[in-house]
Structure 1
Amino acid sequence: MPGMLLCSSSACRARSGLIRTWAFLLAKLSLFLVATQAMAQASVENLQNTSNDPLTPKMAFEFHNYAQPVLTDRPASGADQGYFRFVLPHASFGVDQMMRASMPVVASSWDPERAVNGVGDFTIFNLAVHYFGTVKTGIGPLLVVPTASSPALGTGKWQAGVEAVVSAPHSWGLTTILASWQQTLDGSLQTVTAQPLLFFNLPDRFYLRSTGIASFALGKNAVVPVGLGLGRVFELPNGASLNTFVEPQYSVIQNGPGVAAFQVFAGVVIQLPVRFR
């Protein structure tokens, strides 16, 4: 046909070479983008992040302790609460969920006149988990059972409320916030808490942490602690992990007698791999 170029011409060979070059470059670029995405995903799913994320779908046994040697307006008084917490991921009604039960099994309170030892109030909440890319959210009901062995160690009243969590992993660490609202069934006490969690990963699976819980007993007292601590995660066989940490916390807001002016939060967390389904 008139105007048709033969493949043996130099122009055709040049065009074919250019096409092959661009195809090669596009293939390399595609492989690079896939590898970069995989590396980015892996970077946010490191062992420190999964060990500290409250929405990681792993069964966990947590042993936490709050030592409160300094209380506002109460010289020579203090408190200490050792918690056992159990975390269980599960799926009900086709929805990924996280349940956490918390019990102060070794609770103490003292002042110049006496010391009280026993157990505190039992708390349980269950979160429905939703995913927005790498960001996870959870929201669900909360219940407090008045199991405290002494009025100094608990409210002595049933409470109900709502717990919510938002968690976002990053290549450098993890940002999370936990918030709750709870009220006694007789309406005499309402409490709002907010716990921003900030984790900055270091080499050799160490990390820096700040996890103070701001608590507002409406109309009674308020406390906002800010902490800076150090932790380390140890990898165990079969996908399990051991997380240890200690975090001193100073209360930048201290409103009301008996709230912690200074405390030390320490803990050990064992995670075991399980699946929602």
Structure 2
Amino acid sequence: MKRLLLATLLTFSFGILVAQEAETTESSSAAQANNPLADMTALSFQNYYMPKLSEAPDAAFMNTTWVRFAKPIAKGKLLLRASMPFSTLGMPNANNVVNTTSGLGDFNAFLSYNFISNETTTMGIGPSVSAPTASDDLLGTGKWQGGFAFVAFVAKSPVFQFGGLITWQASFAGESDRQSTSLAAVQPFYFWQLGKGTYLRGVPIWVLDFKKEAYSIPLALGIGKVVKVESTVFNLYVEPQYSIYVEGVQPVFQLLAGINLQFMK
């Protein structure tokens, strides 16, 4: 009887340890699914729907889909991220008929040197460049732009992770009849793991356009789901964002929806 009781207790204890280890592994995987500097090749599709723009007619809207590709280099010490936007801008004419312009935006890429990279904290900084690839003047700047990007991700807790992305760039070449640029963006991000791959999230982008004197400070809270299928991690999410301060032609409200794919080694 004592042997049976001892075996039962050992089996129960082993089961608890296995369950805790699985939960910790799952939480870690879910946390790293939102790490922009993760040492994994990644492909993401993000769509921003902006049905209301400040200082613009009521019927004006914008919809932008970003396609991003990230590739770690030099055993994860460097990360190259390239982004291409596809946009549709709707503006009403004098007869209140909405005319739409669709096409490519300006291509952007940055190379991050990860000077801190461990299981809980990743930080990187590096140069950023944008090329005037827009198919229409309304969808791009017409300028070559250069600057820097700084990104950090902290995952010391399996429940809460946070970080941020700060970028700045200014024009140095391009079409002479287009306005020069000086644009900064601050993107805080925060994630609460709810378990089983489900989490709450916020990744608003605070836009600071110094040349056009256009600014947008949104707050955000959405929900996401991380699912691992063999060697690919799928991260699906939807996130409403509302601007508490806007100046110039900027979104008052926008809805972010997307899917990120990480390809594990």
Q: TM-score, normalised by structure 1?
A: 0.79
Contact 1:44 1:171 in 2 (8 A): no
Q: What is the CA-CA distance between 1:199 and the residue it aligns to?
A: 0.4
SS at match of 2:33: helix
Residue 153 (structure 1) aligned with residue 153 (structure 2): no
Contact 1:43 1:171 in 2 (8 A): no
Distance change (3 Å), C-alpha of 1:213 and 1:110: same
Could you list the runs of 4 or more consecutive aligned residues of structure 1 that deviate by over 6 angstroms after TM superposition?
A: none
Residue 142 (structure 1) aligned with residue 128 (structure 2): yes
Residue 210 (structure 1) aligned with residue 210 (structure 2): no
Task: Spell out the pairing of 1:67-78 with structure 2 (5 A cutoff).
Answer: 67-74=49-56, 75-78=58-61
SS at match of 1:47: helix
Show the counterpart of 2:71: 88
Distance change (3 Å), C-alpha of 1:267 and 1:132: closer
> Aligned partners of 1:266 and 1:171: how far apart in 2?
24
Q: What is the CA-CA distance between 1:43 and the residue it aligns to?
A: 6.5
Show the counterpart of 1:273: 264
Q: What is the CA-CA distance between 1:253 and the residue it aligns to?
A: 1.0
Q: Deviations over 1:122-173 (max 9, x none)?
A: 0000100122652211000000000001111111111000000111002212
> Aligned partners of 2:223 and 2:203: how far apart in 1?
11
SS at match of 1:158: strand
User: Which range is displaced more, 241-250 or 111-120?
Assistant: 111-120
Show the counterpart of 2:214: 221
Q: Deviations over 1:174-203 (max 9, x none)?
A: 101100110011592211111000000012
Q: TM-score, normalised by structure 2?
A: 0.83
Residue 165 of structure 1, aligned match among 151, 154, 166: 151
Show the counterpart of 1:131: 116
Listed as ranges, the gaps of 5+ residues in structure 1 are 1-34
Q: Higher strand proportion, which one?
A: 2
SS at match of 2:78: strand
Partner amino acid for 2:89?
S
Q: Deviations over 1:55-106 (max 9, x none)?
A: 1111011011010110002121010011111010011xx87111100001x3
> Aligned partners of 1:232 and 1:43: how far apart in 2?
16
**Count of residues paired in the alignment:** 231
Task: Compare CA radii of gyration and give the structure with the larger one.
Answer: 1
> Aligned partners of 1:45 and 1:122: how far apart in 2?
34
Listed as ranges, the gaps of 5+ residues in structure 2 are 1-16, 94-98, 174-178
